[in-house]
Amino acid sequence: MLKKSLCLVFVLAFLASFASGASGASGDNALEVVEAEYVCMVNDAAYDKEQVRVDVEGKTYYGCCEMCKARLKNNEQLRVGIDPVSGAKVDKATAIIAADAYNRVYYFESKENLAKANAKLQDK
């Protein structure tokens, strides 16, 4: 329950940053697409090097260490993100993944939703 609450707080904070302009982002700080193999899907962070591959039920996820690998295999909730535009649940293995200037990643169900997010960031 705590993890669900934290996830909801994270998504609400992200959406609030769009509404208030608190993100400080402009066109120069747009979300950039990141290849999945450079993302720890437990920490939701992008890295400069490839992460540990985790195959689960025919899908590929990535973690930064053996502990994250085990967590991804054993915890289905860690394999799901929330699209900050639509609020829909997104399988991290198939999501469009984008990172901000702080290497935090966001999972989108479509390229169109990523474009909408970047359009809002550019308007601020």
Structure confidence by residue, pLDDT tens digits, 61-105? 999 999 999 999 999 999 999 999 999 999 999 999 999 999 999
Residue 33: name the closest of 86, 95, 119, 87 by CA. Answer: 95
Number of domains in the chain: 1
Taking all residues of the chain, what is their mean pLDDT, rounded to a whole number?
Answer: 85
Beta carbons of 63 and 95 less than 8 angstroms apart: no
3-class DSSP assignment, residue 86:
coil
- State the DSSP string of 90-117: EETTTSEEEE-TT-BEEEESSHHHHHHH
Residues spanned by the domain of 54: 2-123
Considering the entire predicted model, what is its pTM? Answer: 0.78
